């Protein structure tokens, strides 16, 4: 991939240091236009710092990056016009009402009054908070504030949308509703970059993800490819009676297994065929099986395999 305009984001050797701490460490990446890209990683991995540099809120210590061909430092004003940002923390002026937050914001971007009124109405409608248009924003619930943060980022019709943990603290139902809204925006052509702790969020939304740890990308690819490349495709968990089983490695599809306290975990390459074979093998070996669960691998498994730690401490 080149570094020309077809890239929504192009990053080269980007680094940020804070008094001896390297928060983002020589990162390189291209994100194509129209991608839905996820940055996944534990607290302190450097996700927010990376986004803050890309959106012009923090100056890189070294390296470079561009948004649709505009350098984030040299062409900062141009590049900022192309993006929308929903930060992790609410930062609304509490003296403003919901709709005013949107119209004032678009005013900074020089949008004419009639257009910004209409745009704000459309966005409130899209985010299903039209009935709160005239409420003061500090009266809104957490979930409504989350939607408003996204709505504000959409006002200037960004080509690239940055969302820093857009669903933190919202309930499962709203999270799914927000996912639907974000998918729609992406399908209409907006490039989206989001950071998240939620594995299901990255897996459900993102075409590609980068897993970050200690300021670096430790894995990059589609969620499926990462799971295939980095971990066994799935594992079977059996509750059995006793602490002995015949050697399972002779069963086709079995990669490895472990047994402890009557819990047998079998890593297999193809769940659909291996599950039945393992079960038959155990039964013919005289092992009483109380229950069996299939657990598909997740991006969390990828992270654990690569770092030996869990994503959420």
Ligand X SMILES: Nc1ncnc2c1ncn2[C@@H]1O[C@H](COP(=O)(O)OP(=O)(O)OP(=O)(O)O)[C@@H](O)[C@H]1O
| Residue 305 beta carbon to ligand X: minimum distance, rounded to whole angstroms | 20
> Please, is 308 exposed, middle or buried when counting C-beta atoms within 10 Å of its C-beta (0-12, 13-18, 19+)?
exposed
Residues of this chain, 40-79, that bind ligand X according to CB under 6 A: 41, 43-49
Nearer to ligand X, 41 or 151 (CB): 41
Of the two residues 46 and 223, which places its CB atom closer to ligand X in the complex?
46
Report the nearest approach of ligand X to the CB of residue 313 (Å). 10
CA distance 160 to 35: 9
Q: Among positive and negative, which fits the CA dihedral 95, 99, 104, 109?
A: positive
- CB nearer ligand X, residue 49 or residue 186: 49
Q: In this chain, which of 5, 18, 112, 272 binds ligand X, going by CB under 6 A?
A: 18
Measured from the CB atom, the residue of 139 and 309 that comes closer to ligand X is 309
What gap in Å lies between CA 5 and CA 89, rounded to an integer? 31
Instruction: Specify the stretch interacting with ligand X by CB under 6 A; choose among 16-24, 181-189, 221-229, 293-301.
Output: 16-24
- Region near ligand X per CB under 6 A, out of 39-47, 89-97, 149-157, 241-249: 39-47
Q: Is 145 near ligand X (CB under 6 A)?
A: no
Min separation Cβ 288 and ligand X, Å: 45
Between residue 204 and residue 223, which ones bind ligand X under the rule CB under 6 A?
A: none
DSSP 130: G
Nearer to ligand X, 159 or 197 (CB): 197
Structure tokens at 114: 């009639």
- Identify which of residues 88 and 298 has a Cβ nearer to ligand X in the complex: 88
**CA atoms of 90 and 312, how far apart (whole Å):** 22
Neighbouring residues of 225: CB distance < 8 A, sequence distance ≥ 6: none
The H-or-E segment that residue 26 falls in is strand 21-32
Count of residues that interact with ligand X, criterion CB under 6 A = 11
Interacting residues of 46 by C-beta distance below 8 A, sequence separation 6+: 16, 23, 24, 25, 212, 214, 215, 216
Q: Nearer Cβ to ligand X, position 31 or 127?
A: 31
CB atoms within 10 A of CB 33: 15
Distance in Å, CB of 43 to ligand X, minimum: 4
Using the rule CB under 6 A, give the single segment among 5-13, 37-45, 131-139, 202-210 that binds ligand X. 37-45
CB 147 within 8 Å of CB 129: yes
Q: Which is nearer to ligand X, 195 or 297 (CB)?
A: 195
How far apart are CB 307 and ligand X at their closest, in Å? 14
Question: Closest separation between CB of residue 80 and ligand X, Å?
Answer: 20
Question: On the CB side of 224, how many CA atoms lie within 13 Å of its CA?
Answer: 3
| Closest distance of CB 45 from ligand X, Å | 4
Which neighbouring-strand residues pair with 256? 267
CA–CA dist 73, 150 (Å, integer): 25
Q: Which spans of this chain sit near ligand X (rule: CB under 6 A)?
A: 18, 21, 23, 41, 43-49
């Amino acid at each position: 991939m080149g570094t020309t305009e077809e890239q929504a984001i192009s990053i080269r050797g980007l680094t940020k240091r804070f008094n001896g701490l390297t928060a983002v460490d020589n990162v390189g990446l291209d994100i194509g236009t129209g991608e839905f890209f996820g940055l996944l990683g534990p607290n302190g991995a450097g996700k927010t710092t990376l986004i803050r540099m890309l959106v012009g809120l923090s100056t890189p210590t070294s390296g470079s990056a561009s948004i649709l061909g505009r350098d984030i430092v040299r062409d900062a004003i141009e590049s900022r016009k192309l993006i929308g940002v929903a930060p992790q923390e609410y930062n609304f002026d509490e003296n403003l009402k919901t709709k005013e937050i949107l119209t004032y914001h678009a005013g900074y971007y020089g949008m004419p009054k009639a257009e910004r009124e209409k745009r704000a109405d459309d966005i409130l409608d899209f985010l299903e908070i039209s009935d709160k248009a005239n409420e003061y924003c500090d009266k809104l619930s957490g979930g409504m504030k989350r939607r408003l943060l996204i709505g504000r980022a959409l006002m200037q019709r960004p080509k690239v949308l940055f969302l820093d943990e857009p669903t933190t603290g919202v309930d499962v139902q709203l999270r799914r509703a927000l996912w639907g809204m974000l998918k729609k925006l992406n399908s209409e052509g907006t490039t989206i970059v989001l950071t998240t702790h939620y594995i299901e969020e990255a897996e459900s939304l993102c075409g590609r993800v980068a897993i970050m740890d200690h300021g670096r990308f430790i894995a990059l690819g589609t969620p499926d490819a990462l799971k295939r490349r980095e971990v066994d495709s799935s594992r079977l968990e059996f509750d059995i009676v006793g602490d002995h089983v015949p050697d399972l490695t002779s069963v086709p599809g079995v990669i490895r297994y472990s047994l402890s306290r009557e819990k047998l975990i079998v890593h297999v390459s193809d769940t659909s065929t291996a599950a039945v074979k393992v079960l038959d093998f155990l039964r013919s070996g005289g092992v009483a099986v109380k229950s069996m669960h299939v657990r598909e691998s997740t991006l969390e498994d990828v992270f654990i395999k690569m770092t030996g730690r869990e994503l959420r401490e």
